[in-house]
Amino acid sequence: MQDKPKRPALDQLRTFVTVYRSGSFSDAARTLHLSQPTVTNHVVSLEKWFGTELFIRTITGVTPTSYAHEVAVSIADQVDHIDRYFSSDEHRQAAIRELRIGASRELLIPVILPALAGDAGKLPILSLSFDSSTELLADLQAGQLDLVVSTIRPRSAEMQSWPLMDEEFWLVAAPSLDIPEGSVSRLSTVPMVSFNRELAIVRRFWNAVFGAEPLFDAVLTVPDLLGVKQAVLAGFGMSVLPSYLVEQEVADGRLVRVADDSEAPLNTVFLVAMKPALRARNTIAGMASLLINRVKQHQQSVPALDR
């Protein structure tokens, strides 16, 4: 009978936790100040011990297996506690405390950062990144992010989601833009600035408010909602934008709301975490609770406008 491999050492378990959180052997090696072959050897030794694969290797990094999620839930907190007790290495302490949060650029800059501003100096070390919700949820599932602000409601049973805020959409334009009164067909002659050529956000608004399809093309396409807002402020045309992006500009008169949009669509924004990671790291749950409360307070502090 073949002897079972030697019981895993603490440094191997620490390497596993770091790879699990970073989603990359090379990133884990840099964090732990180890060579990449050493990180690989640690993981291979653990896979021999557990008798199963822990990570699926890809061209962009590694993805934890379901078994790896269970191992992380069981040992991550304990490894963190041991490191905090014995280690004086500042780099390692920073890696333990760091939280990685992903959101779209138009949510991260005008909503998430201002909402957390009052807690500056009291937060864990934060690493913030922005991308589309689809990409961010994939990164979350791969263990490369700890929390994601998503405009898509996740369907995975391994993900925990909380409603964070509602997006309300307004049709807005600069006051200098000539907006004809009357029918939808006349309104449709006004130049439109859009996020994409498919007019995805505009189409949803047109369908809900006017019961019609937008039978026009955008005169300007900007693949960034903050960029769309700047183009509208500059007078390139009107556009449909989330209210949180333009409330201040409407309040001070730099933009005007064009249509009676009482039937405008709403979209719920979610805060999402992986359930195994929530169980493995108390700081993720704590940050999620803080972020939900702070975003709510931030939304309530925005100038009240007639809706």
- pLDDT at position 117 is 92
The CA distance from 254 to 248, in Å, is: 9
pLDDT tens by residue, 119-163? 888 888 899 999 999 999 998 988 889 999 999 999 888 899 999
**Mean pLDDT for the stretch of residues 7-13:** 87
The CA distance from 30 to 233, in Å, is: 44
pTM for the whole structure: 0.66
Q: Is the pLDDT of residue 172 over 50?
A: yes
**Mean pLDDT for the stretch of residues 220-224:** 93
pLDDT tens by residue, 23-51? 999 999 988 888 899 999 999 999 999 99
> Partners of 121 in the beta sheet?
none
Quickly count: other Cβ atoms within 10 Å of residue 193's Cβ.
24
The CA distance from 144 to 285, in Å, is: 17
Please state, for a pLDDT cut of 70, what percent of the chain lies above it: 91
